[in-house]
Structures are given as structure tokens and as C-alpha cells.
């Protein structure tokens, strides 16, 4: 929705005026912002704005090229949370129409215009533009525009939770969770946190080669509700976009939890992190069931044997019934092709489950064993390993970014119909 266009006074031309007294601009959560400017002056102001403390959590990139560069970029890349476009006139309207065909739903668009533009607000609103800033702009106009898109009431739920659980113990659920999270953070550049919920035996810190001083016990056993500042302190940084909330992995106490023990932790985490991957231990208790049911997406990891088949089926049945308005849990088969082991083939497994797995990951004791012992991801060890590609594919599927997007022509729905293809779904767009 369009807010008021701001008109500048001449004495504010250096762009460094502080906000009016009493105005509070709330900091943004971990979002991605990409700007496409037309003039060097705007480029410099936007660039400086992205270094403001309130945008400290945002991942921002500022480029030249305006709407044309944006269209080119997003025809092959996922769109960020916010796109900022500088307009040079009415051409912006055609550009916005074209951008819409490559833009994820949920991406917010801010347009910077100048008084000479004469672009009618109504036309911008019709194209879904969220804010329009009339130049000459100041640094704070940009900060304010971005932050107000994520003001407190809207920011309550920004993060998406992906829960990963094994159909049996030891099937590789944690390995899959950690590798997929790594891929989401690296390849899709989405700020992600892995939460290791296997309190006593969790391996996430080993897998990411981390030795964090703090862990989830510091939040779950404290009587006060955790806030974002506490959660930030408990995280260990694994890569540019990936952090870890480790498990204590010690046995000095037992870990019996009520159903809601983790609610506040997840809610707090969601306020600052777009993607949260939960490594859920293989157990069926009040809190694991609640965690699975309330997740945005579920991935079950199974080995191709009878017990895994039965457990996957039971998990599917229970979770589908409890989440009637969601798409069913996804599952993958892991450790396929172990030497001399009799296995249920993927086709029969899929038939019994009544849906196809998102992937069948080959058994490779050398590569997986080395990665685990070195505290590395499979892709770090072997970029072209089949499992590396599979983790990428699972990451795309879980985040709704199935294939690189192509701009769609107006005829696409008709052509799809003629070819008998279903229309591309955007239900899972993140």
C-alpha cells in the first residue's frame, strides 16, 4: 500500500537530517534488500542508508541499472524481501508490469521518484508498489521506507520453520537437516538458523565444526520469556547466512519437556530469521508432536526398510490429519544402495506411502563418514557429489524455489493448457 510521498525541504539536501523528535523507526529483522538506482547520487544515498544501524540485520545490495537491471536479475534469481527501484519517468510502469512476472509474491517494492516524473500514484498502487518516495531523497527516507514495511505489527511472523525428523533413529535426519540448511543459506542466500533439538546427543555443533559456549539450554531452562537479544547471543555463526542454536549435548541433567516448552523460542526466532531449520530428534512426545504440527514444512527422512516404511506412513497419516489445510509432509529416502543390504525399492516405498519422495540419497559411507568426522558439509568435501545436488534440490523444494524462474508471457497459461501442464503453483513462495 502506498504511504504518503515525502516532499523535501531545500535545507535537507545533504541527506543527513536526524528523524523528527518522537519518531521511532524500528530496526528490521534479517531481511534481504536489493536496490537498483538510476543516478549516482541516489546510489550513494541508498548505499549509505543500508549501513544505518536499523538496517544492521538486513542483507542489502545496491546496484545501478534501474528497473531493467532488476528484471534481468530476477529472471534467474529469487527475489529478495524488498526491491527498491529508482524511476526516471513513466517507463517505470511498463517495467513494473514486466517485473511482476518474475517477482515472488510477498516481495515488497519501493519506488524512488522525482517531481518531474509525473507518475500517477494510482498507477503505482495498481501495480502493487508498497511505498513511493518523492525526491530529492535523504538517507533517512530510505531507512524509514524499508523499516516501516516491517513495523512491529507485521513483523510478528516473518520466519518460516522447516522441521526435519527421522522415521527411525540413526537414518541420517540430522545430516540431511544440516546439509539442507547450509544449502538454503549459501545457494539461496537466505538467512537461516539451525536449531538442534536433540538436547542430550545432538550433533549439529560437530557437523558445523563449532564449539559454542552457549546453547538452547540457556533459553529453554530460564524462567523469563526469551527475547531477540538473548537468542542472538546464543547463536554461533557457521557461515555468512547460517547460524546455529546448538544442543547442550551433555548428560548432567535429563530433558523432559512440556508440549509448549519451545514455543517462545521459536516465536522469538521467527521475528528475526527468515528460515529456521529444526533438527527434531526421533521421538514421539508432546513437544515433538507439537513442533512438527506447527512447522511450516516437514521433512521426514527414512531408510528403505520395513520399519521406516511403517513409521513414515504413520507420521504422514497423523500429520496430514492434524494439518488439513497444509500440503502433506515431504519425505526423502536416505542411504539407498548400501552394499548387500536388502532394500525396499523407491517405487514400492512411494506406492505404500501414496506419494513420491522428494529425493533418494545414495549411501556413501566414505564421503558421509569423512564429512561427519571433519565437521564439514558434503558440498564442501565433494561439490559434484550426487548428494550435493540432491541437497540443493531439497532446499529449493522446501523454500518454494523449485526452478530458476523464467519470465512468463501473457500466453503462458494458454500454452500450458494446450500442453496439458498444470499451472505453476506459488502457494509455497517464501
Ligand X SMILES: Nc1ncnc2c1ncn2[C@@H]1O[C@H](COP(=O)(O)OP(=O)(O)OP(=O)(O)O)[C@@H](O)[C@H]1O
- Give contact residues for Mg ion (rule: CB under 5 A): 174
All residues at 6 or more sequence positions from 162 whose CB lies less than 8 Å from its CB, including other chains: 180, 275, 276, 277, 278, 295, 296, 297, 298, 299, 398
State how beta strands 131-134 and 359-362 pair. unpaired
Q: What backbone torsions phi and psi does residue 195 show, to the nearest 5 degrees?
A: -110, 115
269 binds, among ligand X, Mg ion, none (CB under 5 to 8 A by kind): none
Give me the least distance between CB of 216 and ligand X, in Å please: 15
CB nearer to Mg ion: pick between 178 and 396: 178
Give me the least distance between CB of 175 and Mg ion, in Å please: 8
Give me the least distance between CB of 166 and Mg ion, in Å please: 6
32 binds, among ligand X, Mg ion, none (CB under 5 to 8 A by kind): none
The radius of gyration of the chain from alpha carbons, rounded to an integer in Å, stands at: 24
CB nearer to ligand X: pick between 141 and 207: 207
The C-alpha atoms of residue 273 and residue 315 are separated, in whole angstroms, by: 27
First and final C-alpha spacing in the chain: 20
CB nearer to ligand X: pick between 139 and 162: 162
All residues at 6 or more sequence positions from 29 whose CB lies less than 8 Å from its CB, including other chains: 57, 150, 155, 158, 159, 271, 272, 273, 274
Asked whether the bond before 192 is cis by omega within 30 degrees of 0, the reply is no
CB nearer to ligand X: pick between 169 and 258: 169
175 binds, among ligand X, Mg ion, none (CB under 5 to 8 A by kind): ligand X
Give me the least distance between CB of 268 and ligand X, in Å please: 25
Give me the least distance between CB of 356 and Mg ion, in Å please: 24
274-294 burial code (b ≥16 CB/10 A, e <16) = bbbbbbbbbeeeebbbbbbee
Cell 546455529 -> residue:
244
The C-alpha atoms of residue 278 and residue 387 are separated, in whole angstroms, by: 20
170 binds, among ligand X, Mg ion, none (CB under 5 to 8 A by kind): ligand X
CB nearer to ligand X: pick between 166 and 226: 166
The C-alpha atoms of residue 212 and residue 350 are separated, in whole angstroms, by: 40
| Maximum CA extent, the chain | 79
Q: How many CA atoms lie within 13 A of 221 on its CB side?
A: 12
Give me the least distance between CB of 185 and Mg ion, in Å please: 19
Nearest of 315, 293, 292 to residue 168 by alpha carbon: 315
Q: Which residues bind ligand X (CB under 6 A)?
A: 166, 169-175, 198, 203, 281-282, 334-335, 361, 363-365, 368-369, 372
96 binds, among ligand X, Mg ion, none (CB under 5 to 8 A by kind): none
CB nearer to ligand X: pick between 150 and 391: 391
CB nearer to ligand X: pick between 32 and 388: 388
Give me the least distance between CB of 377 and Mg ion, in Å please: 15
CB nearer to ligand X: pick between 127 and 282: 282
106 binds, among ligand X, Mg ion, none (CB under 5 to 8 A by kind): none
Give me the least distance between CB of 175 and ligand X, in Å please: 3
222 binds, among Mg ion, ligand X, none (CB under 5 to 8 A by kind): none
Q: How is 1-17 classified by DSSP, letter by letter?
A: ---PPP---GGGTTS-P
CB nearer to ligand X: pick between 68 and 200: 200
- Structure-derived torsion over alpha carbons of residues 259, 262, 264, 267, reported in degrees to the nearest 10: -110
Nearest of 179, 91, 152, 160 to residue 127 by alpha carbon: 91
Give me the least distance between CB of 166 and ligand X, in Å please: 4
State how beta strands 82-86 and 32-37 pair. parallel
335 binds, among ligand X, Mg ion, none (CB under 5 to 8 A by kind): ligand X
CB nearer to Mg ion: pick between 4 and 250: 250
Give me the least distance between CB of 358 and ligand X, in Å please: 15
169 binds, among ligand X, Mg ion, none (CB under 5 to 8 A by kind): ligand X
Amino acid at each position: 500500500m502506498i504511504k504518503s510521498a515525502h516532499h523535501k525541504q531545500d535545507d535537507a539536501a545533504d541527506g543527513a537530517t536526524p528523524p523528527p523528535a518522537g519518531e521511532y523507526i524500528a530496526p528490521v529483522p534479517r531481511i534481504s534488500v536489493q536496490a537498483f538506482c538510476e543516478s549516482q547520487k541516489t546510489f550513494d544515498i541508498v548505499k549509505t542508508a543500508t549501513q544505518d544501524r536499523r538496517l544492521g540485520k538486513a542483507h542489502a545490495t545496491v546496484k545501478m541499472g534501474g528497473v531493467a537491471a532488476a528484471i534481468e536479475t530476477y529472471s534467474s534469481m529469487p527475489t529478495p524481501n524488498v526491491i527498491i527501484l529508482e524511476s526516471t519517468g513513466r517507463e517505470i510502469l511498463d517495467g513494473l508490469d514486466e517485473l511482476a512476472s518474475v517477482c515472488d509474491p510477498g516481495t515488497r517494492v519501493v519506488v524512488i521518484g522525482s517531481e518531474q516524473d509525473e507518475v500517477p500514484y494510482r498507477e503505482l498502487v495498481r501495480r502493487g508498489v508498497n511505498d513511493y518516495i518523492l525526491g530529492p531523497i535523504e538517507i533517512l527516507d530510505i531507512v524509514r521506507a524499508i523499516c516501516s514495511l516491517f513495523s512491529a505489527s507485521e513483523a510478528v511472523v516473518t520466519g518460516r520453520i522447516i522441521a526435519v525428523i527421522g522415521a527411525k533413529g540413526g537414518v541420517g535426519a540430522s545430516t540431511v537437516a544440516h546439509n539442507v540448511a547450509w544449502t538454503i543459506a549459501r545457494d539461496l542466500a537466505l538467512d537461516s538458523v539451525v536449531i538442534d533439538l536433540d538436547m542430550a546427543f545432538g550433533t549439529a555443533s560437530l557437523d558445523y565444526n563449532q564449539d559454542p559456549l552457549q546453547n538452547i539450554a540457556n533459553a529453554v531452562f530460564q524462567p523469563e520469556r526469551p527475547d531477540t537479544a538473548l537468542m542472538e547471543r546464543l547463536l554461533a555463526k557457521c557461515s555468512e547466512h547460517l547460524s546455529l542454536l546448538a544442543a547442550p549435548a551433555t548428560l548432567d541433567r535429563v530433558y523432559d519437556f512440556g508440549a509448549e516448552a519451545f514455543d517462545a523460542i521459536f516465536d522469538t526466532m521467527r521475528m528475526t530469521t527468515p528460515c529456521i531449520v529444526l533438527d527434531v530428534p526421533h521421538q514421539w512426545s508432546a513437544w515433538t508432536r507439537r513442533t512438527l504440527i506447527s512447522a511450516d514444512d516437514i521433512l521426514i527422512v527414512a531408510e528403505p526398510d520395513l520399519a521406516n516404511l511403517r513409521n513414515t506412513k504413520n507420521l504422514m497419516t497423523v500429520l496430514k490429519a492434524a494439518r488439513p489445510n497444509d500440503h502433506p509432509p515431504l519425505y526423502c529416502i536416505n542411504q539407498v544402495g548400501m552394499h548387500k543390504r536388502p532394500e525396499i525399492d523407491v517405487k514400492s516405498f512411494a506406492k505404500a506411502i501414496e506419494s513420491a519422495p522428494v529425493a533418494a540419497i545414495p549411501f556413501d559411507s566414505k564421503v558421509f563418514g569423512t564429512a561427519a568426522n571433519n565437521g564439514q558439509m558434503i558440498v564442501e568435501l565433494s561439490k559434484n557429489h550426487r548428494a550435493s545436488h540432491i541437497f540443493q534440490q531439497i532446499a529449493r523444494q522446501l523454500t518454494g524455489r523449485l526452478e530458476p524462474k523464467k519470465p512468463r508471457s501473457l500466453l503462458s497459461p494458454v500454452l500450458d493448457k494446450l500442453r496439458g501442464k498444470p499451472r505453476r503453483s506459488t502457494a509455497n513462495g517464501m
